[in-house]
Structures are given as structure tokens and as C-alpha cells.
Amino acid sequence: MSAPPRSDDALDQRWQAWAEQRGPAAGLHMDNAAAGRSSAEVLAAVSDHAQLEARVGSYVAEELAAPVIGAGRAALASLMGVPTDGLAFVESATAALAVLLRCWPLRAGDTIAVAPSDWGPALEGFAARGLRISELAIVPDGQIDLDQLERRLTTAPPAVVHLTQVASHRSLVQPVAQAATLCRAAGVPLWVDAAQALGHVDTALGADAVYAPGRKWLAGPRGVGVLAVGEAWWRRLNLTVPAMMPAEWPPVRLLESHDAHVAGRVGLATAVRQYLGTGPAQVWQRLQQVGQETRKVLGGLPGWQVAGGGAPSAITGLRPVAGQDVPAVRRRLLDEHAIVTTAAVTARAPREMTETLLRVSPHVDCSAADLDRLYAALADG
Ligand SMILES: Cc1ncc(COP(=O)(O)O)c(C=O)c1O
């Protein structure tokens, strides 16, 4: 077995504290792109609210939790670049996109422009809605070509541009801020899939719609996600207003599910408060560094190749170059080494991926020793 490159850097106190908020993991959690590890405070908030529901009644408990949920709503809206009334709690990124496709003023046959790295299930949703999918030109690392986008927006503008800000399967971050400026100038709405971006990179970049689950990089509870819609669109959405709703109810709130995992919303509000306390800019910078260190260490691993060379995120895709069966490797890492990763199948990004990748996605608390442990486990077999 070849020795991993060693680094003795101690983990910064800030990231140690982040790990301590969560308590010990059963193994090595290298799978935050699937779901993060919630902190003890988040878990307690969820459980406390569920118990409050049983004690005082669910609707009374919801009224009592309104200030906490309201603060979470305001914080999430601001992280996603919309006014507070532009945020709807939904269940997941998939649920958010379904809502968006239902309410946005689109006609069957309209064109939606995407990057080849775009999230596969979203492409399926576009096709099911009757939209024509058109690919945007890219530069070699997979980011969209902004010059070409600018030309495209004037010569053949699509009805919508959709960008998956942080790719799910490899290190790749799309230039959303620049794309938003170009789309705005051309009057073309920009939708952003921020499933892997919220809590990972800046997501307040001027898009018209942004959606994400809370469970990944924010490490909120499962089953709670968010959809943010820019104010210019609020009155243009196709909405039905139930007679039971107050007349002044914000239009985007009509997109929220009628019944909901309110305890989960309380948990997500708690996760966001903790995230703001840690400092989003520091988290983004640290996650970029963690991704770079991961690729530096695993770049030298025999039998594997780091996929792509896109703008840095904390997500690394490893391509098997020695005939390995990736789902079997993922299973072996879990069963024999207690290391959690994902076997990322091509359906995640069918216009870009050609093979299953092993996805590694550590969080801010990833130490050099953790990367050494992963390297040794992968090299051992
Ligand atoms: C880029 C991307 N978009 C969308 C989703 C779907 O998210 P959800 O499971 O919350 O529906 C994922 C999930 O991994 C993702 O990585």
C-alpha cells in the first residue's frame, strides 16, 4: 500500500467547535453532499417542538414557534438573495422545482437552457413539463461560457436559464453572479438549483428563483427545503388563492405545503442560526480549502483519478481507472472502514457523466488525518 501524503496541520479551533456541536460520528462522514450531520442543538430543537406539539396542540405549538421560524425564514431569504416574503418552505429541492414548474408563467414548448453538468432529475422535470432543453456552451472545465451566454441571450433567448450552481458529482461551481447580471440585462429569468450550494458558497447572487434542501451543507433536518423567488415575479406566478387564506398573505407563501414538518422548520431555523454564528464567508472559504486538500491527497491515489478540474467546491468525484466497481467500493468503505461516501451514478448529470464516480464530500471539520484514513482505506483494495 502506498503511503498517503502527510500533513500534520491541527484542525482550527473554529472547526473543532463545529465538530463538537455535533458530537462524535460513528465513522468518517464524507457524505455531506447527501446530508450533513445535524448539531445536537438542531436535534433538540426538532424533538422539543415535537413534544410541545403533543403537550399544547400542534397549531398552538406552531404559533409559539412563529418567532423562531420567522427568524429562520428571514435569514434563509437573505442567504438566497430575496426579501423575506419571497421565501417558501417546502420539503426538498425536488419539491421546490415541482412547485416552480407549476407556478411559473411558462408555455409547453418553451426552451430552458442548461449546462451539461445540470442535475439529471431536473432535466426529467423540464421534459415532463413540456419544455425544450437546450445546452449552453461551456469552457473546458464545465463552467458555462459567459461570452456565449451573452450572445445567446440576444440571438436566441430561452424562456429560462437554469443552473445547478454547485455540481453534485464533482468539483464544479457555475458563475451564477455573472450569469444573473447577463440574464437580467436580457430580461430572461435565471433559476438556480442551490441544492449543493446553500451553506457551501454564496447563494445571494441575483437569480430570479433559487431552491435547495436544508439537510446538506447547512446540516438541517431531513424533509425541509426552501424555494426563494425574486420580488419581480411574485405577481406573475400562476397561483390559486384559497378563500381561507388572509387576503394580504404573501404570494410566495402560497407555494408552501399546506401541512408541514413544522418541527423540521424549527430545526432548520436553528441550523441557520448556528451557521450565521460560525460565519458564512469563513465556512465557504474553509469548504473550498477542504475540497482542494481532498483533491491534493486523493490525486496521488493509485487506481483513481480526480474527475474534472472545475472551480473548487468541497465535492470531489473520483474516477476508477483500474476497473473498480464503484458501488462495491462504496460498500466496502462503509462496512470495513466506517467511511460514508456516495456512488454517484451517471443519471445525476447525464449530459456530462459517462461513468459512476465515487463521491467524497467532507465538511469543515475534515482533518488531514481524516483524508489520510480515506486514502489508506481506498488504497487497501
Ligand atoms: C444538484 C442537486 N439538485 C437537486 C437535488 C435533489 O435534492 P432533494 O433530494 O432535496 O430533492 C440534489 C440532491 O442530491 C442535488 O445534488
Asked, for residue 7, whether it belongs to a domain, the answer is: no
Q: Are 105 and 238 in contact (CB under 8 A)?
A: yes
Mean pLDDT to the nearest integer, 121-128:
98
* Dist CA 229 CA 251 (whole Å): 10
Asked, for residue 329, whether it belongs to a domain, the answer is: yes
Q: What is the pLDDT of residues 87-99, one digit of tens each?
A: 999 999 999 999 9
User: Ligand 1: distance of its center to the CA of 348 in Å?
Assistant: 9
Give the count of beta carbons closer than 10 Å to the beta carbon of residue 221: 24
- Which residue of 169, 172, 196 sits with most ligand 1 atoms within 8 Å of its CB, as the best mutation to test the pocket? 196
96 and 81 fall within a common domain: yes
243 and 109 fall within a common domain: yes
163 and 30 fall within a common domain: no
Give the count of beta carbons closer than 10 Å to the beta carbon of residue 94: 18
Phi, psi of 173 (to 5 degrees): -125, 125
Mean pLDDT to the nearest integer, 63-81:
98
Residue where a domain terminates, one of 278, 310, 336 = 278
- Picking from 199, 191, 218, the residue whose alpha carbon sits closest to that of residue 97 is 191
Asked, for residue 4, whether it belongs to a domain, the answer is: no
* Dist CA 82 CA 309 (whole Å): 31
pTM equals: 0.96
283 and 273 fall within a common domain: no
> Which ligand 1 atom sits nearest the alpha carbon of residue 164?
1
Specify the number of domains making up the chain.
Answer: 2
- Picking from 46, 348, 26, the residue whose alpha carbon sits closest to that of residue 222 is 46
Q: Where are the alpha helices (DSSP H) in the chain?
A: 13-22, 40-56, 58-79, 93-103, 120-128, 146-155, 176-186, 262-278, 280-298, 326-337, 368-379
Q: Which residue has the cell 475540497?
A: 291
Q: What is the pLDDT of residue 6?
A: 45
Asked, for residue 5, whether it belongs to a domain, the answer is: no
Residue where a domain terminates, one of 278, 293, 322 = 278
Q: Which residue has the cell 434542501?
A: 213
Asked, for residue 100, whether it belongs to a domain, the answer is: yes
CATH code, domain with 208: 3.40.640.10
Which residues does 116 contact at the CB level (< 8 Å), separation at least 6? Answer: 135, 138, 142, 349, 351, 352
Question: What's the domain range around 180?
Answer: 42-278
273 and 284 fall within a common domain: no
User: Ligand 1: distance of its center to the CA of 59 in Å?
Assistant: 30
> Which ligand 1 atom sits nearest the alpha carbon of residue 91?
10
* Dist CA 204 CA 199 (whole Å): 11
User: Ligand 1: distance of its center to the CA of 121 in Å?
Assistant: 8
Q: What is the pLDDT of residues 200-210, one digit of tens each?
A: 999 999 999 99
Q: How many Cα neighbours within 13 Å face the side chain of 122? A: 31
* Dist CA 144 CA 163 (whole Å): 9
> Which ligand 1 atom sits nearest the alpha carbon of residue 225?
10
Q: What is the pLDDT of residues 5-62, one digit of tens each?
A: 444 456 899 999 999 999 899 999 999 999 999 999 999 999 999 999 999 999 999 9
Q: Is 119 helix (H, G, I), strand (E, B) or coil?
A: coil
Amino acid at the residue 281: A
User: Ligand 1: distance of its center to the CA of 30 in Å?
Assistant: 17
94 and 177 fall within a common domain: yes
184 and 220 fall within a common domain: yes
Q: What is the pLDDT of residue 75?
A: 98
Between strands 190-193 and 160-164, the pairing is parallel
Give me 264's grid cell.
Answer: 423540521
Mean pLDDT to the nearest integer, 316-324:
97
Nearest alpha carbon, ligand 1 atom 14: 34
State how far Cα 52 lies from the chain centre: 30
Mean pLDDT to the nearest integer, 344-362:
98
271 and 301 fall within a common domain: no
Q: What is the pLDDT of residue 321?
A: 97
201 DSSP 8-state letter = B
Asked, for residue 119, whether it belongs to a domain, the answer is: yes
175 and 305 fall within a common domain: no
Asked, for residue 53, whether it belongs to a domain, the answer is: yes
* Dist CA 189 CA 40 (whole Å): 39
> Which ligand 1 atom sits nearest the alpha carbon of residue 92?
10
First to last CA, the chain: 9
Q: Are 142 and 117 in contact (CB under 8 A)?
A: yes
Mean pLDDT to the nearest integer, 112-127:
98
User: Ligand 1: distance of its center to the CA of 226 in Å?
Assistant: 12
CATH code, domain with 336: 3.90.1150.10
Phi, psi of 31 (to 5 degrees): -140, 40
Nearest alpha carbon, ligand 1 atom 3: 195
16 DSSP 8-state letter = H
> Which ligand 1 atom sits nearest the alpha carbon of residue 167?
1
201 and 336 fall within a common domain: no
User: Is it the case that residue 197 has pLDDT exceeding 90?
Assistant: yes
Q: What is the pLDDT of residue 9?
A: 58
Q: What is the pLDDT of residues 229-241, one digit of tens each?
A: 999 999 999 998 8
Residue where a domain terminates, one of 250, 278, 306 = 278
Asked, for residue 3, whether it belongs to a domain, the answer is: no
Mean pLDDT to the nearest integer, 324-343:
98
357 and 297 fall within a common domain: yes
The mean pLDDT value of the chain amounts to: 95
Residues with CB under 6 A from ligand 1: 92-94, 119, 164, 168, 193, 195-196, 213, 225
47 and 126 fall within a common domain: yes
* Dist CA 71 CA 294 (whole Å): 35
Mean pLDDT to the nearest integer, 279-289:
98
